[in-house]
A and B are shown apart, each in its own frame.
Chain A
Amino acid sequence: MERVEVLKTYKIYIGGKFPRTESGRYYTPTNAKGDALGNICLCSRKDVRNSVVAARKAQGGWAGRAAFNRGQVMYRIAEMLEGRKAQFIEELIFQGATKIKAEQEVNTAIDRLIYYAGWCDKYTQVLGSVNPVASSHFNFSVHEPTGVVGIIADESTSLIGLVSMIAPVIAGGNTCVVIASESLPLSAITFAEVLGTSDVPGGVINILTGASEEMAKPLSTHMDVNALAYSGNDEAVLKELQEYAVMNLKRVRSYTKDWMNSDSQDLYMISDYQEVKTTWHPIENIGGANSTY
């Protein structure tokens, strides 16, 4: 007699925990062949709210970590992803990818994490500046995380779009609430499990599944979200996000990139979620021979 397989319950990821949606609802997306992908949480605005609370709580601690440490944590995510590569490939194939494409996608996702892990302790060096002001002051500009970022991940990919949006956001010390691809949600949930077993503090990344249309409004109107990231080319959605963002002047970034392309990763995706802080301090000039005081 064949062994009865244990089926996976797909959960969401909030504050480092794996609850089911508080709404109790689910949806059942299918692949091209018509196979059900699973019973996926159909998250509500309350899940969005809970995620933002978790992300806010985690933000100070994550931003306050040594940049080197953030890099290590991100590298650890890549390691864990590498270890579960087979599962990701299998799920991608199940969601409709060819084996080659699936392998490419997972490899690219791992490499992308490594890429941004490396930036953690470098971007402030490249982007920061010491500004030669004309008065007797030391003046420097550093980049600081914008805060809590709402991410609406790429709908057309399951893993690479998600990872490509999350990585630069957290590399820069932000925390995030991510709305995964509605039609291809499996990799997002498995990625959450990777996060759960890596060293990412709870709340730094929160991943929700369900109807993007339903969650976009509570996320983009939320007064405690500082920035929005949108991947896709639906102009109507973008306009709506931009309008909602006005309430507390969220920074809105949108991308129409092919995330499989290596050009889609760069330093400026980190700086998209950074604020420039400029600090002044007097310089007491007491020279020896040429003191003029």
Chain B
Amino acid sequence: MNNNKGLEIPDFSQSPIVDKVGVEERVERFQKRSIKNESKMQGLRMALSMIDLTTLEGKDTPGKVRQMCYKAQHLHDIHPNLPTVAAVCVYPSMVKIAKQEVKGSGVKVASVSTAFPSGQAPMKVKITDTKFAVDQGADEIDMVISRGRFLTGDYNFVFDEIASIKDICGNARLKVILETGELVTLDNVRRASDIAMYAGADFIKTSTGKIQPAATMQVTYTMLEAIRDYMNTTGRQVGMKPAGGISNSKLALHNLVMVNETLGSKWLTNEWFRFGASSLANDVLMQIMKAETGVYQSSDYFAID
């Protein structure tokens, strides 16, 4: 459902400007938070529960997807009471398989769409792509924006495209990938965030994972501030998903600190915050085991898929 109908659409060329050095300094402050003991354990468990376990490769097969889906529900069975991840994220062709595998676990299935990762396809193809994924049972759609159009200043095109995709998502939640590595400046990141939210995004997401740099804290912070302003103006809560490059617990905790202090605890659940990552889960698991056993861990003891 697009709950943005009737909303006054701002002039996106007037989106708030962002000073990059100031953002870097703010991010440093988050990074200086020292998360220890119970708060660390709480943060690590939160991080686990927020992961979108992802495989987005040309060589993906049903077998690979099944293994990942099992892992999504059984992160480390030696340890009781671990949460599952939030979702698995796959290509549309794998949605059906994934859906079967995670059935009843509460783990969602997210599908990328709209000619992911480049988005260089006609609108018709993007709609078909999305519709297919939704029909296959995807709970969430991760679309990409047309970065080329955005960079030429064609904000209306980008807005309309997102709104059109939102229309066919039905009950699936729409995550809009900005591919910030191609937008280059934080001013662009901010503007693209505003466009996505006003066009109906349920989540905004940094990256496809195919382009570097991806989810830097500076980018995520800029998007979090956009979410906060949007919430204050419209009253609608939008989720955030940094994806790509968050590979260890420390980074994940710093991201959570940033969410906590920028948006507040209302966002500290996998309904509103996700990590798009594949290798993060094991590092978090190792940290949890370290904290509980007092012994530094080896990756040999944690299943890779």
CB pair A286 B20 closer than 8 Å:
yes
CB pair A293 B19 closer than 8 Å:
no
CB pair A286 B185 closer than 8 Å:
yes
A283 and B218 contact, Cβ closer than 8 Å, known pairs A291-B184, A292-B213 = no
CB pair B21 A293 closer than 8 Å:
no
CB pair B20 A282 closer than 8 Å:
yes
CB pair A283 B21 closer than 8 Å:
yes
CB pair B24 A136 closer than 8 Å:
yes
State A292–B19 Cα separation when bound (angstroms). Answer: 15
CB pair A293 B22 closer than 8 Å:
no
State A135–B219 Cα separation when bound (angstroms). Answer: 20
State A68–B22 Cα separation when bound (angstroms). Answer: 37
- In chain B, what residue has the closest Cβ to A284? B20
State the Cβ distance, A47 to closest chain B Cβ, in Å.
52
By DSSP majority rule, is chain A's interface helix, strand, loop, or mixed? loop
**Residue A137 at the chain B interface, CB threshold 8 Å:** yes
State A135–B20 Cα separation when bound (angstroms). Answer: 13
Contacts of A136 in B (CB 8 A): 21, 24
State the Cβ distance, B257 to closest chain A Cβ, in Å.
19
State A75–B298 Cα separation when bound (angstroms). Answer: 81
**Residue B284 at the chain A interface, CB threshold 8 Å:** no
State A137–B24 Cα separation when bound (angstroms). Answer: 12
Contacts of A285 in B (CB 8 A): 20
Contact of B19 among A282, A286, A291 (CB under 8 A): A282
Chosen A-B contacts, 9 in total, with CB atoms closer than 8 Å, are: A136-B21, A282-B20, A285-B20, A286-B184, A291-B213, A293-B24, A293-B186, A293-B216, A293-B219
Contact of B213 among A135, A137, A284, A293 (CB under 8 A): A293
- In chain A, what residue has the closest Cβ to B189? A293
CB pair A284 B19 closer than 8 Å:
yes
A282 and B22 contact, Cβ closer than 8 Å, known pairs A291-B184, A293-B218 = yes
A residues with a Cβ closer than 8 A to B are 135-137, 282-286, 291-293
State A291–B219 Cα separation when bound (angstroms). Answer: 13
Contacts of A293 in B (CB 8 A): 20, 24, 186, 213, 216, 218-219
Which among A282, A291, A292, A293 has the greatest number of chain B C-beta atoms within 10 A?
A: A293
0/1 interface trace, chain B 208-247, chain A, CB 8 Å (1 if under): 0000010010110000000000000000000000000000
Which among A282, A283, A284 has the greatest number of chain B C-beta atoms within 10 A?
A: A284
State A137–B21 Cα separation when bound (angstroms). Answer: 8
- In chain B, what residue has the closest Cβ to A293? B218
- In chain A, what residue has the closest Cβ to B27? A293
Contacts of A292 in B (CB 8 A): 213
Contacts of B184 in A (CB 8 A): 286, 291
State the Cβ distance, B220 to closest chain A Cβ, in Å.
11
Beyond known contacts A284-B185, A293-B216: 17 more, CB 8 A cutoff: A136-B21, A136-B24, A137-B21, A282-B19, A282-B21, A282-B22, A284-B20, A284-B21, A285-B20, A286-B20, A286-B185, A291-B213, A293-B20, A293-B24, A293-B186, A293-B218, A293-B219
Contacts of A282 in B (CB 8 A): 19-22
Contacts of B219 in A (CB 8 A): 293
0/1 interface trace, chain B 21-63, chain A, CB 8 Å (1 if under): 1101000000000000000000000000000000000000000
State A293–B184 Cα separation when bound (angstroms). Answer: 8
- In chain B, what residue has the closest Cβ to A137? B21
State the Cβ distance, B106 to closest chain A Cβ, in Å.
36
Contacts of A283 in B (CB 8 A): 21
State A136–B22 Cα separation when bound (angstroms). Answer: 10
Contacts of A291 in B (CB 8 A): 184, 213
- In chain B, what residue has the closest Cβ to A136? B21
State A136–B216 Cα separation when bound (angstroms). Answer: 18
State A286–B185 Cα separation when bound (angstroms). Answer: 8
State A282–B25 Cα separation when bound (angstroms). Answer: 11
Contacts of A286 in B (CB 8 A): 20, 184-185
State the Cβ distance, A234 to closest chain B Cβ, in Å.
54
0/1 interface trace, chain B 234-270, chain A, CB 8 Å (1 if under): 0000000000000000000000000000000000000
State the Cβ distance, B231 to closest chain A Cβ, in Å.
25
Contacts of B216 in A (CB 8 A): 293
State the Cβ distance, A261 to closest chain B Cβ, in Å.
51
- In chain A, what residue has the closest Cβ to B216? A293
- In chain A, what residue has the closest Cβ to B19? A282
State the Cβ distance, A291 to closest chain B Cβ, in Å.
7
State the Cβ distance, A283 to closest chain B Cβ, in Å.
7
State the Cβ distance, B142 to closest chain A Cβ, in Å.
23
State the Cβ distance, A282 to closest chain B Cβ, in Å.
3
State A293–B22 Cα separation when bound (angstroms). Answer: 12
State the Cβ distance, B9 to closest chain A Cβ, in Å.
28
Contacts of B213 in A (CB 8 A): 291-293
State A292–B185 Cα separation when bound (angstroms). Answer: 11
- In chain B, what residue has the closest Cβ to A285? B20
- In chain A, what residue has the closest Cβ to B218? A293
7 tightest A-B CB contacts, nearest first = A282-B21, A284-B20, A136-B21, A293-B218, A293-B216, A282-B19, A286-B185
State A292–B23 Cα separation when bound (angstroms). Answer: 13
0/1 interface trace, chain B 177-221, chain A, CB 8 Å (1 if under): 000000011100000000000000000000000000100101100
